[in-house]
Copies of this chain bind each other. A is one copy, B any other.
């Protein structure tokens, strides 16, 4: 499975019709040749050989054609979080949800790197990207708020962890994009998210075989914040 072409969405032709792909390809060719501001929707549809209405059927605005896969990825993330089990460790779960975004970028490195350079140059695209990142962060926070509903400062904890996950993910993603998509994006994101799990996540409980009379032993540094110890304890007791 080669990812060297700049045409996006090679992995899932079934859900993205060829016309949509053709519009994205035409748009990026023009953005790179002439610049983003200098390219109009009319230029894009002329190159793709379709009408204006076809463009707006797929993309509400010229900005949206730059980020053709975020809506799908947001929907995937929301579905993934909604399908969580009650005993999923919540911080691990939101880290796994963030990995869906990485996967979308890594599906097509050349396209992602081109877009990264384009976005850096155009303030309007930067603003668009910030609003997308905000929506991912809110999706993660909503899930965590539900999971932390019974705990003290549940909403605060949810918001802080969601922001930390997004920041760690984006730190690794940007490093990878700056390296022109070389290197192992997944390993970089795993490392970055591991940092957040170490700060906020519960340590996985060891497998227990002793039966109903077994005991739970929690060993904690005296200086550890109490809420983190309680979180560990809940997870060890299987009530997290």
Contacts and interface: CB of A to CB of B under 8 A. Distances in A.
Interface of A: 126-128, 130-131, 134, 153, 155-157, 159-160, 162-164, 166-168, 170-172, 192, 195-196, 198-200, 203, 205-206, 208, 212-223, 225-230, 233-234, 237, 239
Contacts of A157: 195
26 contacts: A127-B127, A127-B131, A155-B171, A156-B171, A156-B172, A159-B167, A160-B171, A160-B195, A160-B196, A163-B164, A198-B227, A199-B199, A199-B225, A206-B222, A213-B221, A213-B222, A214-B221, A214-B222, A215-B220, A216-B222, A218-B220, A220-B237, A226-B239, A230-B230, A230-B233, A233-B233
Contacts of A200: 199
Given A160-B168, A218-B218, A229-B233, 5 more contacts: A156-B172, A212-B223, A217-B219, A218-B220, A226-B234
Contacts of A195: 153, 156-157, 160
Contacts of A218: 217-218, 220, 233
B222 A212 contact: yes
Interface centre among A160, A164, A172, A218 (most CB of B within 10 A): A160
Given A199-B199, A215-B220, A156 B168 contact: yes
Contacts of A162: 167
A189 B197 CA distance: 24
A167 B219 CA distance: 30
Nearest to A211: B222
A171 B159 CA distance: 7
A177 B59 CA distance: 35
A240 to B, nearest CB: 10
A74 B46 CA distance: 44
